[in-house]
Amino acid sequence: MEPQSLSIWQLCMEGGWIMVVLALLALVSIYIFVERFMVLRAASHLDDSFMQRIRDYIHDGEIESAQNLCRSNSTPFARLIAKGISRIGRPMNDVLVAIENTGNLEVAALSRGFSWLATTAAGAPMLGFLGTVIGMVDAFYSIANSGNAAQIGTFAGGIYTALVTTVAGLIVGIAALFAYNYLVSRVNKIMKLMEARTMEFMDLLNEPAK
């Protein structure tokens, strides 16, 4: 008699209710990763001519045109520069503080949802281990009730639960961890670009008018 093969779906069913929780964690994490990936990709877009046009407008005294250019570019860099332009005429330290505060808000907005990924990365393996404990308790309970008549089929269901939930928890947790670290690296890259834009703008304010 040939041994029956189990499909992925059947294996998941053997994992019990914890597999439902892990599946929900995985779905939400996938959504957050895809949504944040698209947001960060759009936020990292750089227009090479943007700062040159800002420089020309400011040197020509066309502050309103510079502000309009910033509004037409929906990126964190443009919003930083817009805040700096709105503070032109004040002490340089005030301008820098205003830009830095805006930068902090932009980073917080870009990092939205990261806490969920971090929680999933830590919590999913723990849920898997909880399933392992539940499965082993169920297996030993079946053995105890069967007494001397216990056979491997008696406690196989508990072992299925133990092994499947462990594997599923580790897969979800590892995937969430890699997704979290990747998105954090993208945000750090954008932060460095924002710092570079800030320094470029501050240098621009110190340039003599043509």
Distance, CA of 11 to CA of 24 (rounded, Å): 17
Task: Give tens-digit pLDDT for 170-179.
Answer: 999 999 999 9
- At which residue do the structure tokens 């992925």 appear? 8
Burial, 75: exposed, middle or buried (Cβ in 10 Å; 0-12, 13-18, 19+)? buried
Whether 14 has a pLDDT exceeding 80, the answer reads no
**Window from 3-7, 19-23, 119-123, 159-163 with minimum mean pLDDT:** 3-7
Mean pLDDT over 126-150 rounds to 70
Alpha-carbon 5 to chain mean position:
37
Q: How confident is the model at residue 88 (pLDDT cuts 50, 70, 90)?
A: confident
- Both tokens of residue 67? 């502000």
- Both tokens of residue 146? 């069967």
- Residue with more model confidence, 148 or 161: 161
Q: How confident is the model at residue 11 (pLDDT cuts 50, 70, 90)?
A: low
**Predicted local confidence at residue 51, as pLDDT:** 86
Q: In the chain, pLDDT over 70 holds for what percent of residues?
A: 78
Task: Tell whether the torsion through CA atoms of 18, 24, 28 and 29 is positive or negative.
Answer: positive
Q: How confident is the model at residue 55 (pLDDT cuts 50, 70, 90)?
A: confident
Query: 170 and 197 in contact (C-beta within 8 Å)?
Result: no
Is the pTM higher than 0.85? The answer reads no
Task: Give tens-digit pLDDT for 30-52.
Answer: 999 999 999 999 888 877 788 88
Task: Give the chain's mean pLDDT.
Answer: 81
